[in-house]
């Protein structure tokens, strides 16, 4: 069991003042799901154990980082069996590279502790999915079970139900990963798992 508070050393530039400048994205910002991210928006990133077929047709473990929605984080906090080994929470500014309205990459170095000891890839469409996942926490304060830079493995990890990836491109570089390098590492199982989580939650609620 591990619940660890990590020190993030990245120095984030002081947010420039925007006097007199109305960003286009703030024009349609009434819906919390549409508002641009702010530096302290919540990101939960999971280390998930998936599987990929090797050349000999054998399934090998393939670990990925992927963003969790508020619903997913709440679900695994409830002890539902999932492929998530551990989870780390980050402020959006420590997760995304570049302008939060239009991130250019992921600050992989800030996820080092989460992936320590594993060969990890980024999930497919990581930027788009992360932006969307982060916004789900705006309506679910109670889902923020980890503090920023806190990591936990107190979850019900299981690979009994295997998530299969189409193919995997390793991201071993400690450098930031640019969007054009983020790759189709994500399999069709995702929808299935989402559905599965929903079903399990419903089962729990009905119990
Ligand atoms: C993990 O999930 C399984 C299946 O639902 C359950 O039997 C088991 O008790 C859970 N373990 C923990 C530690 O919650």
DSSP for 53-82, please give it.
E-TTS-EEEEEEEEEE-HHHHHHHHTT-EE
Nearest atom of ligand 1 to the alpha carbon of 156: 1
Neighbours of 181 (CB within 10 A): 14
Q: How buried is residue 53: exposed, middle or buried, by Cβ count under 10 Å (0-12/13-18/19+)? A: middle
* Cβ(81)–Cβ(105) below 8 Å: no
How far apart (Å, rounded) are the C-alpha atoms in residues 149 and 190? 26
Which residue's alpha carbon is at the smallest distance from atom 13 of ligand 1?
A: 156
For residue 189, the model assigns a pLDDT of 38
Q: How far is the CA of 114 from the centre of ligand 1 (A)?
A: 23
pTM, to two decimals: 0.70
For residue 95, the model assigns a pLDDT of 98
Per-run averaged pLDDT (10 residues), the chain, 207 residues: 55 41 50 83 98 90 97 96 97 97 95 96 95 95 97 96 73 41 35 48 50
Residue spans of alpha helices (H) in the chain: 70-77, 92-95, 112-115, 126-135, 189-206
The tokens for 205 are 């609620």
Out of 156, 197, 200, mutate this one to test ligand 1's pocket (max ligand atoms within 8 Å of CB): namely 156
Q: Does the CB atom of residue 156 touch ligand 1 within 6 A? A: yes
Residue 60 pairs in a beta bridge with 52
Q: Does the CB atom of residue 154 touch ligand 1 within 6 A? A: no
For residue 15, the model assigns a pLDDT of 40
For residue 35, the model assigns a pLDDT of 82
Nearest atom of ligand 1 to the alpha carbon of 200: 5
């Amino acid at each position: 069991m591990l619940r660890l508070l990590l020190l993030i050393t990245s120095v984030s530039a002081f947010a420039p003042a925007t006097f007199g400048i109305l960003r286009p994205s703030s024009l349609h910002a009434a819906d919390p799901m549409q508002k641009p991210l702010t530096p302290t928006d919540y990101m939960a990133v999971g280390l998930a154990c998936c599987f990929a077929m090797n050349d000999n047709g054998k399934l090998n473990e393939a670990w990925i980082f992927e963003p969790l929605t508020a619903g997913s984080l709440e679900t695994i906090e409830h002890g539902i069996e999932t492929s998530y080994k551990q989870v780390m929470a980050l402020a959006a500014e420590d997760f995304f590279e570049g302008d939060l309205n239009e991130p250019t990459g992921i600050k992989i170095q800030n996820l080092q502790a989460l992936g320590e000891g594993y060969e990890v890839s980024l999930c497919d469409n990581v930027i788009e999915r992360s932006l969307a996942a982060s916004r789900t926490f705006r309506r679910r304060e109670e889902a923020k079970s980890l503090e920023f830079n806190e990591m936990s493995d107190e979850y019900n990890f299981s690979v009994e139900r295997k998530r299969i990836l189409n193919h995997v491109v390793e991201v071993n570089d400690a450098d930031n990963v640019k969007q054009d390098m983020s790759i189709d590492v994500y399999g069709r199982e995702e929808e299935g798992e989402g559905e599965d989580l929903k079903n399990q939650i419903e089962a729990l609620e009905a119990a």
